[in-house]
Homo-oligomer: A and B are copies of this chain.
């Protein structure tokens, strides 16, 4: 349909990327964090988007550059104060993305109590794969993977999420209106890795989609 085709341009249509931190318990453990009692939200702005064929670049002076593979949920219509029971009606499709993170910037910000903006929202910090039609994926039961230079580093089923997609949409839209084309990144499983220049990152959803990027 025209609508689905247009939503495939979510990068141009959308206004923001709302991200969830620590939404898989094994990842919270590897970072040494307690499990969150409510969704931990932050944002990437659209300058973060990167499509295949373009290099991922660490921001200036970053010394610990890491990837986080995440299921992306694409919002189809204006969403405010959405009830959990109706939340999936606001989902128009999916993608898979990397939440690229300047981990040293993030640790410094957390220590100082300052914002995460530069740690998370620098240019090229959100490499994405193609749009996935909403009928072609079960977001509650699919397997995310990420390989660095051919070696498997992340592999986990989305059924391990702490806060599921309807819970996230209901929580976020109490505070923040979501628009058509906005992207929700639902958190990463364990296995984040310190990257080096030249590394190849393959990531995707098993049997559904895959993308490949390189670190400049």
| Chain A residues engaging chain B, CB cutoff 8 angstroms | 15-16, 18, 21, 40-43, 45-47, 59-60, 80, 109-111, 113-118, 121-123, 174-179
Contacts and interface: CB of A to CB of B under 8 A. Distances in A.
How many copies of the chain does the oligomer comprise? Answer: 2
B45 A118 contact: no
Given A16-B45, A16-B47, A21-B115, 19 more contacts: A15-B45, A15-B46, A16-B16, A16-B46, A40-B114, A41-B118, A42-B117, A43-B43, A43-B115, A45-B45, A45-B176, A59-B175, A109-B113, A111-B113, A113-B113, A122-B175, A122-B176, A123-B175, A123-B177
11 contacts: A15-B46, A40-B114, A40-B115, A41-B115, A41-B117, A41-B118, A42-B115, A43-B115, A47-B176, A110-B114, A121-B176
A35 B162 CA distance: 38
A196 B7 CA distance: 41
